[in-house]
Structure 1
Amino acid sequence: MSAVLYAEELRPGAVFDLGSAKVSREEILDFGRRFDPLPLHTDEDAAAESRFGGLIASGFHTLAVLQRLAVDMLFSHAAVIAGREMGSIRMRAPVRPEDVLHGSMEIVDVHARNDGTAVVHSRGTLTNDSGAVVLEIEGKTLWEHRRPGGTENGAA
């Protein structure tokens, strides 16, 4: 990948490894208390009595983990302008304290626009150490389409 990745370098089917992140008990409790104060995310005793049998991360917390991985490993090295759309968010399995989540992002489509930008449709996935998919999301971001002053032939 070049120093800055532009939409013209992306190809449908390309998959980016986003690395991994460990989700701690303290992070689950803090996020839950701040943003999703349901007992499943904030009260270990109550969570133990739930159908999950213990503390689990909020789905929004899990989504935030994927976003952080995407920013660290891809978006901060890309000509991304802004997010445009999040859709089809699927929370497939609970995230528990000490789970290590592994992220990937697949390029579904790149649509160049007349204003020099492109809409990039992607699919993000998080799996746990057991290989279970815990989160899937499809979304669209707005990117600069072409490298200033010409293009580079490296495709993702």
Structure 2
Amino acid sequence: MATYFFEDYTIGDEVRYGPIAVDEEEMIAFARQWDPQPFHIDAQAAHQSIYGGIIASGWFTCVLAMRELVANYLSPESSLGSPGLDSLQWLAPVRAGDQLWLHCGVVDVRPSRTKSDRGIIKTKIEMSQEGESPVLSMIATNFVLRRGHSR
């Protein structure tokens, strides 16, 4: 992966990553540990739910997005963490076997007012199946090291 510094992010830039396979074993194991609601872990209960079958925890969907962001969008050499999300929406159920795509669009870029070694980027992040409406939407803020600076 190339190293991206603050200066490499420009408002309007868009990138797309995928496909990201939704593995049933991973999905259920995650839910058993972190979100053990019946429609995430129990096939019979899930079948009788409004979802008609097991669906991924929304948090698992976020984990899939984060793994892809770390692998492709945020560089380990320059990523300085995040103060959080402006919004997070789970828009549709995700199921085992789905093939998801991550779309990132830079919506804001500004140098830090208090720390000259970094800048702040805001990214609109969406996950969807090919050609379908998003299943996840969020706006993330990240601190990113400026070129020529070190940690």
**TM-score, length of structure 2 as denominator length:** 0.90
Question: Take 2:77 and 2:93, find their aligned partners in 1: how far apart are those partners?
Answer: 31
- Report the Cα offset of residue 24 of structure 1: 1.7
Question: 1:14: Cα distance to partner?
Answer: 0.4
| Deviation (angstroms), 1:76 | 3.2
Partner of 1:40: 39
Alignment partner, residue 99 of structure 2: 100
Counterpart in the other structure of 2:125: 124
How far apart in 1 are the matches of 2:41 and 2:69? 26
Distance 1:26 1:72, change over 3 A: same
Structure-1 separation of matches of 2:86 and 2:64: 17
Deviates more, 1:11-20 or 1:28-37: 11-20
The answer to whether the 8 Å contact 1:55/1:96 transfers is yes
- What is the TM-score of this pair, normalised by structure 1? 0.88
Q: Which residue does 1:148 correspond to in 2?
A: 148
1:74 deviates by 1.4
What is the identity percentage for the equivalent residue pairs of Structure 1 and Structure 2? 28
Q: Secondary structure of the equivalent of 2:10?
A: coil
Bigger shift: residues 21-30 or 37-46:
21-30
Instruction: Tell me the distance in 1 between the aligned counterparts of 2:86 and 2:35.
Output: 20
Matches within 5 A, 1:1-156: 3-76=2-75, 79-114=78-113, 115=115, 116-145=117-146, 147-148=147-148
Structure 1 residue runs of 4 or more that deviate by more than 3 Å after TM superposition: none
Unpaired runs of 5+ in structure 2?
Answer: none
Which sections of structure 1, spanning at least 5 residues, go unmatched? 150-156
Shift of the alpha carbon at 1:130? 4.9
How many residues matched? Answer: 147
Q: Tell me how far apart the structure 1 counterparts of residues 99 and 26 of structure 2 sit (CA, whole Å).
A: 13
When the two chains are superposed, the root-mean-square deviation of aligned CA atoms in Å is: 1.7
Distance 2:76 2:118 in 1: 17
Range that drifts further, 20-29 or 45-54: 20-29
